[in-house]
Amino acid sequence: MFSKSYCAAILGIDGISVQVEADVSDGLPSFDMVGFLASEVKEAKERVRIALKNSEFRLPPKHITINLSPADIRKEGTAFDFPIAIAILVASGYIPQDNIDDCMIIGELSLDGHLQRVNGVLPMTFAAAKHGFKRCLVPIDNVREGAVVTDIEVIGIRTLMEAVEYLNGTRIIEPCFVDLEALFENESYQEYDDFSDLVGQNMMKRAVEVAVAGMHNIAIIGPPGAGKTMIAKRIPSIMPRMSVEESMEISKVYSIAGLLGGDRVLVHNRPYRAPHHTITPTALVGGGRMPVPGEISLSSGGVLFLDELPEFQTRTLEVLRQPLEERTVTITRVQATYRYPASFMLVTALNPCKCGYYPDTRRCNCSLHQVKQYLGKISRPLLDRIDICVETTPVEYQELVCSEKGESSKEIQKRVQEARKIQSKRYKGTGIYYNSMLNTKQINKYCKLGREEEKIIENAFNTLNLSARAYHRILKVSRTIADLCGEETIRKEHLYEAISYRSLDKKYWGDL
């Protein structure tokens, strides 16, 4: 007898509907599976066979063939166990075929018939809703994660027997409901430290505010203990709150990576990822034998903070170049191409030399050759992709003991949100969300300069020996500064400030 059930495979961050076909017929007893399967999917036949036996389903000795279609897409993961078992039970007469035609089934089976949680339920549930399924059966541990998709009923299942009773109508299981509005109303930034804790460093605070307002990449350079890491940790607290659409997109990545579960059904706050400098290129950008998102994609919509930048392997840093431009990560394998989002704000912190005190000759013991060797680990192409470079200074004692608090994160966030609203209105319908996303053609349209401003930028271009990419980034930062000031046109004071953020890299890397 022939039957079919439905599941989903993950390709990038999207789910693709997969049809599980089962044929139970006379012949020598066997259990064969086809359909471009990874090793963990091939192993499913043993889990399914024993789970059926331990769930008290007696299957006669038959020839069982399972096909996972389409056969040109590689099937990976353990989420196919459950739909394979259901397809066999339908073919064996335990469940009518009509009872599962409108249902997508996802889950891993343990040997005693219980369902185990799997990764990627959120994009799979999205795929089920997109393909018109009315119900989605998932492990009970994944039910809240899947239930954030509002266009489909998501049913939490504990055991294989429970699933059969539900599908036959002898057991009633109510679909799970997640109140998205309440979820976002209760969103809180309390887990982030506040900007009011920072003393001094007004120039650094201003540069960070500009960077966040336009989603520009920023490098913070200065001596140890000046507050570089401290301010980086507080950047998410001044970023605008995420929309539901942004949250869903980022949550898909976290679902695939297995970072959702329990009470955390969506990513509410802006991601903040700070990998150690020993990280490998694959862990940073994503990939592997079975491609998974890397730190770049996990920080999408938020901050990727690289502390002690020159300590990272040069090979690791160079993989950032394309994602910083394209805002996506493309991983190509023989069987498929995987695409992950990479719309992150790069924040880097570094000391100007090995000891950290260059160019203060009273405290720095490094030779010029050592300084060049240390900073030379960061390539010019990567530097060109960093819009803002800001220098910190040692904090004075009087600033440390001052009881007066600085601006809070909430106050700075209000200004950032106003600037983002201006950008959203300006770029409506263009697919652009903030100034850093502008391409060359759009820069010419939205970053027009007056005669006086053109002379200023021309002089800076020749004096600082800027590249074309650096020139365009100065214009984009100027546009952001004008937005923060509520100005429609870019004025010379906006341009001067943007140029000052590019002159510091010449101070440290100019002779390299």
Segment-wise mean pLDDT, segments of 10 residues, the chain, 512 residues? 92 92 89 90 92 90 92 90 96 94 95 94 94 95 92 95 95 90 63 80 91 96 88 93 88 92 82 95 88 93 95 93 91 83 94 85 84 88 91 72 77 95 93 91 92 92 87 94 94 94 74 52
Query: Which of 120, 103, 177 lies closest to 147, judged by CA?
Result: 177
Tokens at 235, concatenated = 């950047």
Task: Answer yes or no: do 148 and 202 share one domain.
Answer: no
Distance CA 39, CA 44 (A): 9
In whole angstroms, give the CA distance from residue 345 to residue 30: 54
Nearest alpha-carbon partner for 326 in 426, 437, 472, 214: 437
Residue 278 and residue 162 share a domain: no
For the beta carbon of residue 141, count every other beta carbon within 10 angstroms.
Answer: 17
The DSSP 8-state label assigned to residue 445 in this structure reads H
Domain count, the chain: 2
Q: Which domain holds residue 413?
A: 195-509
What pLDDT, on the 0 to 100 scale, is given for residue 366? 87
The answer on 232 and 373 residing in a single domain is: yes
The pairing of strands 103-105 and 135-139 is parallel
To 5 degrees, how large is the angle CA 211–CA 195–CA 434?
25
Q: Where are the strands (E) in 289-410, listed by range?
A: 292-293, 303-307, 328-332, 337-341, 345-350, 388-391
Burial class (CB in 10 A: 0-12, 13-18, 19+), 447: buried
**Residue 180 placed within a domain:** no
Q: Report pTM.
A: 0.90
DSSP states of 470-492: HHHHHHHHHHHHHHHTT-SS--H
184 occurs within a structural domain: no
- Are residues 226 and 291 located together in one domain of the fold? yes
Q: Any idea what the CATH number is for the domain that residue 366 is in?
A: 3.40.50.300
CA distance 76 to 363: 56
Q: Given this model, what pLDDT does residue 187 score? A: 55
Round to whole Å and give the CA distance between 435 and 440. 12
Provide the pLDDT for residue 189: 45
R_g of the chain, CA atoms, integer Å: 28
Q: Model confidence over 72-90: pLDDT tens digits? A: 888 988 999 999 999 999 9
Tell me whether residue 177 is in a domain. no
Residues 132 and 204 in one domain: no
Q: Are 12 and 32 in contact (CB under 8 A)?
A: no
How does the average pLDDT of the chain come out, rounded?
90
For 338, the token pair is 């995987």
Side chain identity at residue 423, one-letter code: Q
Nearest to 48 by CA among 117, 115, 111: 111
Q: Show Cβ contacts of residue 462 under 8 Å, excluding neighbours closer than 6 positions.
A: none
Give the CATH number of the domain where residue 101 resides.
3.30.230.10
Q: Is the same domain home to 329 and 392?
A: yes
